[in-house]
Amino acid sequence: FVLDQGLLRFVRGNELRQVLLTLGVAFFLNDLALVIWGGDSFTVPIPEVLRGGMRVFGTFYPKYRLFVLLMGVLVFIGLWTLLNHTRLGALIRAGVDDAEMVEASGVNIRRVFLFTFLFGSALAGLGGLMGGAFLSLYPSADAEILTFSLAVVIIGGRGSLVGVAVGSLLVGLLNTLGQVMFPELAYFVIFGPMAVLLAFRPLGLFGRAT
C-alpha cells in the first residue's frame, strides 16, 4: 500500500519508470533484510500431512509437489474467472486499456489498481511461502525468481493469463531439461529459445498489441 500510494502513483502511465522504480525498491528491501536477518538460508517446513509421496498412474510423486500443482491450477481458474466473468475483472481490463475513460464513467480507477497491486503482492507472497518448502530462501533469491518470471511473461505474452500459464510450463520444462542435460548452459536453454521466439513473435505466444 505504501509503495503504491507513496511512489507508484507518481509514475503511472510510464511502464519503464514503474519497472525501474519497483526494481530499485526490491534491491533496497533485499539489502535491508540482509542487514536485519543476516544472509542465512531458510526453508519453510512442509506440513506433516503433505510429507511423503503417492503413486499417480504408476509413478511416484511427492505429495507436496502435487499440492503445489493443484494450488497453481486453482489460482489460475480463480484469476481467469475474476478477469473474465466479474465486474471487477472488466474494470481491471478496461482500466489497463483506457484508464481515463473508466475514470470519466464514475469509477475510482485508482482504487481498482490499488486492489490489483495488493492482490498481486499477496499472490507473490503465497508463491514464496509455498516455494520456500522445496527451494531455499535467502537474500537475493528474489532476483533469481524474477529472471524466471520475466522469461515467463516474455514467452507467454504480456496481457494474456493463458500465455503466462503456458509460459510458466515451458520455462519450468526448459529449466529442468537444462539442469539435467546441460548444467553449464542451464540459463541458455531457457533464454536461447526465448530469443528465437521473440525474433518471430515479438509479442510472445499469446501477447496482444496495445
Q: Which helix (H) or strand (E) holds 54?
A: strand 53-56
Percentage of the chain beyond pLDDT 70 is 97
Residue 206 CB neighbours (<10 A): 19
- Orientation of helix 63-85 relative to helix 161-181, angle to 10°: 160
Q: State the cell numbers at 168.
A: 510458466
pTM for the full model? 0.80
The whole-chain average pLDDT of the chain stands at 84
pLDDT in tens, 1-45: 677 777 777 777 676 787 788 888 888 888 888 888 777 777 788
69-83, 87-101, 110-124 — which one is most confidently predicted on average? 69-83
pLDDT band at 125 (very low <50, low <70, confident <90, very high): confident
pLDDT value of residue 7: 79
In order of 63, 140, 142, 197, the CA distances from 127 in angstroms are 17, 16, 12, 27
pLDDT value of residue 40: 77
pLDDT band at 70 (very low <50, low <70, confident <90, very high): very high
**157 and 205 in contact (C-beta within 8 Å)?**
yes
d(CA 8, CA 11) in angstroms, rounded, equals 5
* Statement: residue 74 has pLDDT above 90: yes
pLDDT band at 73 (very low <50, low <70, confident <90, very high): very high
pLDDT value of residue 210: 59
